[in-house]
Amino acid sequence: MTDYLCISEKPTAAKRIATALDQNGKPKKIPTPPSFKKVPVWESFRGGNRIITIPALGHLYSTVEDSAGGWHYPAFSYKWIPSYLAFEKNNTRPFILAFKKYGKEIDNVIVATDYDLEGEVIGASIAKYACNQELTNVKRMKFSTLTDSDIVNSFLNPSPTVDINLANAGFTRHEIDWLYGINLTRALTLAIKHSTGRYKLITTGRVQGPTLKFVADKERDIQTFVPIPRWAIEASIVVDGEEIQIEYNKKFITTLAEADKIISETKNYDGKVSDISSRDIIQKPPLPFNLGTLQSEAYRYFGYSPSRTLRAAEALYLNALISYPRTGSQQFTTAINHKEILTELGKNTTYRNRIGKLISAGQFKPTFGKKKDPAHPPIHPTGKKTGSLSGEQANIYNLIVCRYMAIFGSPAMKKSLRLDINVNGHIFYLRGMKVLKKGWLEFYAPFGKIDEVELPDLAVGDVVKLIGIDHRQSYTQPPARYNPNSLLKKMEDEELGTKSTRASIIDILYSRGYIEDESINATDLGFSVIDTLEKNSPDIISVDLTRNLEKDMENITTGEKAREIVLMDSIKQLKVILENFHKKEKIIGAALQEQVQNLKQRQRMLGKCPICKQGELIITRSTSTKKRFVGCTGYYKKLCDWSAPIPQQGYASPAKKMCKDCGFPMLTIRRKSKRPFTICPNWLNCPGTPDEVIQNYKNNKSAEAVIGEEEE
């Protein structure tokens, strides 16, 4: 009998692995000593072997500075230590104790974490530091789904060692990220401190900086944008008593004179159908989902942020309902039995009819794209029965199944129609769309729907009556802001970060206050940081530098580059960046501090005072009562003494809009766990304030009674 110690990544996965590996499907939970009594240690038996499965809780080991000497830079010396020693409030100590105990007793260690960069680091660090194993002696289970068959198969046919190159790439990524994060954050923060004596923590990281730069660049384009006027010709005809909008053959006219001319030349004329044309469009079935395309479609159809989609997909993976989601692959290997998966899915009444069509047509050849991932296939359902799923997981699961069915479908065929109407020499047109053959669209439904548009029953030569024509002025629009999905796509296109880390980097930028809102804009703080670094230390936010480092780490994975060389090169680069930074430290610190001060000022300014029309309304505090109120800066020059109380609770900031009832610039109040609301600072005299609010205030003498307008 041989004993195995199986390292899993999470408690849920450990239970599933232990259950699959136990020949009776009933692993035993071993009683554990008080020091790690909360850690589930599972005992399974298979073929006369005993398997102990213990979960980790993500990373149990972390990189920390290996020297005393306080907050300084550069800091190039580091070591790996248990995470519970590295961070406060870290609850991983019992897990390390469990691995240490069983690592001493059992020699055969097998890593069964997720097969990717992070999984390899988690497994390898536990095997190395907690179990004292040489990585060359540690076996590796590789699976892409948590189904019983995949788990058992990977246990019976493990790789002889962990993926040393992948583990090295993972360790290197952690170390380089630590080196960049700690040094750049300290450099920025100390720059302010050394220049002004003030402490203000400014954080950044290797991928965060360039990602924030994308947002800041876009924001700059938006804020400096000057639109150009243009005119659209709007016209309609009547066919069989029904009014139909038609479009002019030039979408926009650039001069008012030309727009006027078109109107005068067409206003009193009838139209004549001059041409009806059509063209067939073949739409190929989509590619299988990888993480990026799943996140993109989930945002499109459900509005889920990339990190929300990833969370839901991971939960589905842990329930063995889908394959491993952190994959970039668009190609299936022949090892996957699609017929079997489709047959299992067909037991679900939602998919039965469509699956029946695929099976009877013998369509088991999926589409494939260019991207490969040797570790995992594209995201696909396992066919396992779902049981009840939460709304979010149900949506993502349905999307994945429909996409999976669609990749076996035949191309869809559509007919695009165009009907031209000549009005005194000017061409207007109508467009129609007809689906000739649904093909894969039938399998992807309710996603990928095409709206069919019928054309009116007209023939070439028919005369139609123009019942209205005019031009409408509009303006060119500023570039669209990123949303979490398009920013993630931009990172992917620019090869910043990995499929596993991109979503969390966007979350970090939100949590640090550098970006805000669904339609992402750089906050003043985010913009200030980028602006200062761009001028004084552009390498810190260089996309090229970060992208090259990503390539180097990819080369470690493939064995083309040694980990030590990549680390040394990174340290050399970082050293140059920090030396240059240090030379300009005072300038950078002063610029950052000024930006932060300006930011604080701007966060208080609401806009022009409508009473004196000279001062600015600002959010300020009474020096005597310390209460918050809105007042006019004209007060200091004895120009205006207007002021009004505002709510004392929550964070108050300019709403950047005017009160529609009295024209005062409004403010927004944000309170924890509550929806933000905007109020008019002139609420005591504003005609829009309900009488009961005024009455209530007079009774309580408290501005808390203000009723705000909830933000959309």
Partner 1 sequence: MRRRNSDLRKCLVCQSTIEKGDYCDAHNIAKKNLEKRFNEWQNAFGKLTWREYLERLVNDPEIPIGDWAKEVADYLLKNKKE
Close Cβ partners of 311 (under 8 Å, ≥ 6 residues apart): none
Residue 517: CB minimum distance to partner 1, A = 15
Which lies closer to partner 1 via its Cβ, residue 23 or residue 223? 223
What region does 650 belong to: left with phi over 0, alpha with psi -120 to 50, or beta?
Answer: left
Query: Residue 428 has what DSSP assignment?
Result: E
Catalytic residue among 61, 324, 444, 697: 324
Q: What share of the chain is helix, strand, coil (3-state, %, to 5)?
A: 40, 20, 40
DSSP single-letter state for residue 129: I
- The phi and psi torsions of 665 (rounded to 5 degrees) equal -70, 135
- Rounded CA gap, 189 and 181, in Å? 12
With respect to partner 1, which residue has the nearer C-beta, 507 or 531?
A: 531
How far apart are the C-alpha atoms of 21 and 340, rounded to whole Å?
A: 22
Alpha carbon dihedral 382, 384, 387, 393, in 10-degree steps, equals: 0
CB of 665 to partner 1, least distance (A): 13
Chain centroid, CA 465 distance in Å: 50
Interface residue list for partner 1 (CB under 8 A) = 220, 222-230, 254-257, 475, 477-478, 531, 535, 590-591, 594-595, 598
Q: Closest CB to partner 1 among 377 and 526?
A: 526
Q: How far is the CB of 478 from partner 1 (least distance, A)?
A: 6
What tokens were used for 415?
A: 């007919």
Query: Is 301 noted as a catalytic residue in this protein?
Result: no
Between CA 348 and CA 434 the distance in angstroms is: 31
Contact yes or no for 646/671 (Cβ under 8 A): no
- Whole-angstrom Cα distance, residue 517 to residue 502? 18
* Dist CA 162 CA 119 (whole Å): 11
Tokens 């980028």 locate to: 530
Work out how close the CB of 657 gets to partner 1 at its nearest, in angstroms, rounded to a whole number.
10
Nearer to partner 1, 474 or 702 (CB): 474
CB of 603 to partner 1, least distance (A): 14
Nearer to partner 1, 246 or 592 (CB): 592
- Hey, which residues does 667 pair with through a beta bridge? 654, 679
- Looking at beta carbons only, is 171 or 527 nearer to partner 1? 527
- Please state the closest distance from residue 246 (CB atom) to partner 1, in A: 24
Comparison of 596 and 632: residue with beta carbon closer to partner 1: 596
Nearest to 193, CA basis, from 652, 645, 589: 589
d(CA 38, CA 100): 15
Beta-bridge partner residues of 62 = 81
Q: Which letter, b or e, does each residue of 440-476 get, where b requires 16 or more Cβ atoms within 10 Å of its Cβ?
A: bbbbbeebbeeeeeebbebeeeeebebeebebeeeee
CA distance 629 to 642: 11
Instruction: Kindly tell me the number of DSSP H helices and DSSP E strands found in the chain.
Output: 21, 24
**Nearest approach, Cβ of residue 652 and partner 1 (Å):** 20
Please say which residue, 114 or 585, places its beta carbon nearer to partner 1.
Answer: 585
Residue 708 CB, nearest approach to partner 1 (Å): 22
Active-site positions read 324
